[in-house]
Structure 1
Amino acid sequence: MVKRVSAFSAYSVALDESCDTTDTAQLAVYIRGVDNDYNITEDMASLQSMKGTTTGQNIFDELEKVLARFGLDYTNLVCITTDGAPAMSGQRNGVVGLLKTRMESQNIGSGSLIVLHCIIYQEALCAKTIHSQHVTNILVKAVNFIRSRGLNHREFQQLMADIEAEYSDVKYFCEVRWLSKAGMLKRAYELLEEIILFLDMKGKAIPELRDKEWRCDLAFLVDITDHLCALNVRLQGKDQLINELFSLIKGFQIKLRLWELQIRNHNSAHFPTLKNHDTSNLQYQKYGDKLAVLQEEFSERFNDLKKHSQAIEVFASPFSVDVEAIPEDMQMEIIELQCNDELRKKFDDSSVYQFYKKHVSVTVCPKLSAHARKMMAVFGSTYVCEQLF
């Protein structure tokens, strides 16, 4: 790792902090760097135990220790990605603010430093704007009655076996593990009649479960949560380039606009569960409003990513980018690239990474090459830290 780090021409860090089973704060520091030959190294640099406070200054001090251990200075640091907590992202006393101050004190411009709030965290926070407590609270109440008592749980499983239901059990919902919500909702929806039957048998009937409007709300929630979880899963994984993550977010925002328009026109083509219900005009408009709020939240939360959309476009689509809109120091190289039909064909026939690695050399296109290596080094999320924890 030390040997590879010494060859980095650009690198980024991803930080996240969590407490272990002994209540000791553990700071995970991951480094992702790229050398002049476009070889990408992504690995854990350190897991720092923090037994005292975990202020921005404490975390920053630990980060500096890690970078010093690997002989890394701030000259080639291009991005820092955190979970967005105040101690991490604060502009004065957070790690980001302290880092920029340190860079300025060393006469290293911090203006080009990319600061990102983990894309996966952002997406999960956006999902919480779909206010649905009146649905989830009822379901959690029903599921907890079934699963939190041993006798009830055994009797429910036996009932499922007796009536040969498709599933043998319901699922718990854990707020911390957000993806579990989709599984719980879908399973509860598919076993709704069986749940009603069991609760009636136990004298614990819940009237809302039979309410037509409540069922429509549940159906909408099942579908939109499924869409959000599918996006979340696609955002996960190691070694993803920032342009790939950015494309997923942009694509989902376009889908949201389409869904809102269709739902307001009583078209639930992309909401298969809701499609099975007789939904009123008032409900369609309510769901359209929820999708509009979700759009607005996505737009607001991903503003920090949008600021770098032009830089990402230059990297991901050099042959179609508007030359007049890009930084002047890259314009001549991009024009020559766009006029080279052979290179255009090679770009179309290979991945973005392979194109730069094989056909854009540091000597021929120094500015574009440096920009590409910077983009390749960017951490779009703190997924690797979460995976470690």
Structure 2
Amino acid sequence: MCFRDGQQVLGEASERKIQQISLSGVTVKRRISEMLDDIMEQVIQEIKPSPTGMFTIQLNESTGVSSCAQLLAFVRYVFLRDIKDEYLFCIQLETTTTALDVMEKLTSLFTTNGITWKKICGGCTDGAPTMLGSKSGLQKHFKEVALIAKGVHCVIHRFTLASKTLPDALCKILEAVVKCVNFVKTGDLNSRFFQNLCRGMDSEHEALLFYSKVRWLSTGNDVNRVFELRGEHKLFLEMKGKDDLLSHYNEVLWEPRLSYLADIFEQLNRLNLKLQGKERNVFHHIDCIRAFLDKLQNWQRKVSAGNFAMFENISIVLDEIEEDHLLDPSLKNFIIQHLKSLESELKRYFPKFEKERKLVRNPFSGTLDIAVIPDDGQHEFLDLRNESAVRDLYEEKYLTVFWCSMYQSYPKLTGRITLSHGPKLKPSTRKKAAAQRKLRNLRNKW
């Protein structure tokens, strides 16, 4: 069944006929390109009549396995009394990938479609110098052409950078896991042998998962799968005579540390998924990060008392091994130190949460001081705060739907509500983080 904008276009009989038509690669490519152009045109037509006339853009430059540099863009704008997120375009960067190249592509696109830079009120990027650089980065060029635009460092990207920080002991375990997985996965014969072994042992899974640095969730999925198939994996290495890889399994604290690594990555993956999806805004992101920081502190207290109940995998391993390992000081200290370092990294990437805009989050809060509201919006704020129908709407609708519904009645007040993708990272913190990265690179080089 074929659909367009939710409406049926062709019946099942026509669909079967279309599926029987053999298309060349050039034809398929052309039709996909036409579909993408049509989607972009529809999004642009929705942006232009937006009630606020403003939108934010999220950019990401990525190089694929074929060394093709691509610039992807997503936009967020007001549509039908709600904030809508849509894919805008994917453009190839033919040569260099500097901030000027990105600006040139964006300017050309905006000029062709009649969009002015003044309509951009925010830009969200990753932390690469090309994007977030304070001297020649894309964010700096943004502010030169869009004076009200607020540049932000993607919250999900920042969280992923913080979660990748591992002590040397855990790094060695992760490297060993990757080597063991690659030995099985890189050869077709080994993959088939391992699959038959898992089938013969009635295992829940029959294959290991590849680890990819680009895919943020792959680390946790890879380590968890290795932990679940650790018995089968160990037996397979014995059969293949891989004593160098098998030596890891023979270490005393290998399984407890592997299980902890699987547990902590599972928690990080859950938080990563919470930060994604519809109806996710800066307030939701801040709440999730704060909750996770509290969990880290709580886990440190529990591990200090010898309680590992919150870590499912390590609890299973500790029940299987000797009792004296349950209170092994080195194991407890190892876990506590990593939890502390993870907490420290999160606080470094999120140094100080911005003061929550109480006006945005809850305009009916009893502690909200009217003095913090600009003079031209104070009258509208007092009218809004004392309107019972507005209060009922606030309690019934999502925060984004509520403020989009208020634009017609209170334009001066709601005009100050920006469509932010995440909290801003202070320039001083960016410089400090860049200096620390350079220092680490020099150490690794030597």
CA distance in 2: counterparts of 1:350 and 1:227, whole angstroms: 30
Query: Which residue of the partner structure matches residue 15 of structure 2?
Result: none
| Contact 2:78 2:404 (8 Å CA) reproduced | no
| Contact 2:60 2:126 (8 Å CA) reproduced | yes
Query: Which residue of the partner structure matches residue 185 of structure 2?
Result: 147
| Contact 2:57 2:75 (8 Å CA) reproduced | yes
Distance of aligned partners of 1:259 and 1:341 in 2 relative to their CA distance in 1, 3 Å threshold: farther
Q: TM-score, normalised by structure 1?
A: 0.83
Superposed CA deviations along residues 211-269 of structure 1, whole A, max 9, x for unmatched, are: 33222111111111001111112222356333333332232222222222322332223
Among 133, 139, 153, the alignment partner of 1:117 is 153
Which letter maps to 2:207?
Answer: D
**Secondary structure in 2 aligned to 1:212?**
coil
Q: Mind listing any 5+ residue stretches in structure 1 that lack a counterpart?
A: 382-389
Which letter maps to 2:114?
Answer: G
Superposed CA deviations along residues 299-347 of structure 1, whole A, max 9, x for unmatched, are: 221348x33x423x43222223732384344555555545555544442
Among 1, 8, 13, the alignment partner of 2:57 is 13
Is 1:178 the counterpart of 2:216? The answer is yes
Which letter maps to 1:90?
Answer: G
Query: Which residue of the partner structure matches residue 387 of structure 1?
Result: none
Which letter maps to 1:286?
Answer: F
Identity of aligned residues (%): 26
**Secondary structure in 2 aligned to 1:116?**
strand
The 10-residue stretch of structure 1 (217-226 or 122-131) with the greater mean CA deviation from structure 2: 122-131
CA distance in 2: counterparts of 1:151 and 1:6, whole angstroms: 57
| Contact 1:26 1:47 (8 Å CA) reproduced | yes
**Secondary structure in 1 aligned to 2:118?**
coil
| Contact 1:42 1:239 (8 Å CA) reproduced | no
**1:380 CA drift (Å):** 4.3
Superposed CA deviations along residues 88-122 of structure 1, whole A, max 9, x for unmatched, are: 1112211111222334xxxx4x4xx3211122211
The 10-residue stretch of structure 1 (241-250 or 87-96) with the greater mean CA deviation from structure 2: 241-250
CA distance in 2: counterparts of 1:235 and 1:229, whole angstroms: 10
| Contact 1:323 1:334 (8 Å CA) reproduced | no
**1:283 CA drift (Å):** 2.0
CA distance in 2: counterparts of 1:156 and 1:48, whole angstroms: 41
Query: Which residue of the partner structure matches residue 271 of structure 1?
Result: 311
Which letter maps to 1:127?
Answer: S
**Secondary structure in 2 aligned to 1:323?**
coil
Among 371, 379, 400, the alignment partner of 1:353 is 400
Distance of aligned partners of 1:260 and 1:339 in 2 relative to their CA distance in 1, 3 Å threshold: farther
Q: Which has the larger radius of gyration?
A: 2
Among 196, 207, 218, the alignment partner of 1:169 is 207
Superposed CA deviations along residues 40-86 of structure 1, whole A, max 9, x for unmatched, are: 34334433332222211121122222222333333332210112211
Superposed CA deviations along residues 2-55 of structure 1, whole A, max 9, x for unmatched, are: 4333223221111112235664432223322226x6343433443333222221
Among 259, 275, 296, the alignment partner of 2:299 is 259
Distance of aligned partners of 1:352 and 1:135 in 2 relative to their CA distance in 1, 3 Å threshold: same
Which letter maps to 1:13?
Answer: I
| Contact 1:46 1:66 (8 Å CA) reproduced | no
Among 365, 376, 384, the alignment partner of 1:320 is 365
**1:353 CA drift (Å):** 2.7
Within 5 Å, which residues of 2 pair with 1:169-248?
Answer: 169-205=207-243, 206-238=246-278, 240-248=280-288
Which letter maps to 2:74?
Answer: Y
| Contact 1:216 1:279 (8 Å CA) reproduced | no
Query: Which residue of the partner structure matches residue 68 of structure 1?
Result: 111
CA distance in 2: counterparts of 1:196 and 1:120, whole angstroms: 35
Number of residue pairs matched by the alignment? 365
**1:275 CA drift (Å):** 2.1
Query: Which residue of the partner structure matches residue 130 of structure 1?
Result: 166
Superposed CA deviations along residues 199-220 of structure 1, whole A, max 9, x for unmatched, are: 2222224232133322211111
Superposed CA deviations along residues 272-318 of structure 1, whole A, max 9, x for unmatched, are: 112231252332232122112111211221348x33x423x432222
CA distance in 2: counterparts of 1:339 and 1:51, whole angstroms: 56
| Contact 1:17 1:27 (8 Å CA) reproduced | yes
Which letter maps to 1:353?
Answer: T
CA distance in 1: counterparts of 2:84 and 2:112, whole angstroms: 17
Query: Which residue of the partner structure matches residue 29 of structure 1?
Result: 73
Distance of aligned partners of 1:48 and 1:119 in 2 relative to their CA distance in 1, 3 Å threshold: same
Among 138, 142, 150, the alignment partner of 1:99 is 142
| Contact 1:135 1:218 (8 Å CA) reproduced | yes
Q: Mind listing any 5+ residue stretches in structure 2 that lack a counterpart?
A: 1-42, 319-325, 424-446
| Contact 2:407 2:415 (8 Å CA) reproduced | no
CA distance in 1: counterparts of 2:265 and 2:374, whole angstroms: 44
Runs of 4+ deviating beyond 6 Å: none
CA distance in 2: counterparts of 1:49 and 1:157, whole angstroms: 40
CA distance in 2: counterparts of 1:52 and 1:123, whole angstroms: 30
CA distance in 2: counterparts of 1:21 and 1:172, whole angstroms: 15
Distance of aligned partners of 1:333 and 1:293 in 2 relative to their CA distance in 1, 3 Å threshold: farther
Is 1:295 the counterpart of 2:295? The answer is no
Q: TM-score, normalised by structure 2?
A: 0.73
Is 1:4 the counterpart of 2:46? The answer is yes
CA distance in 1: counterparts of 2:166 and 2:117, whole angstroms: 41
CA distance in 2: counterparts of 1:21 and 1:139, whole angstroms: 23
Which letter maps to 1:69?
Answer: T
Query: Which residue of the partner structure matches residue 20 of structure 2?
Result: none
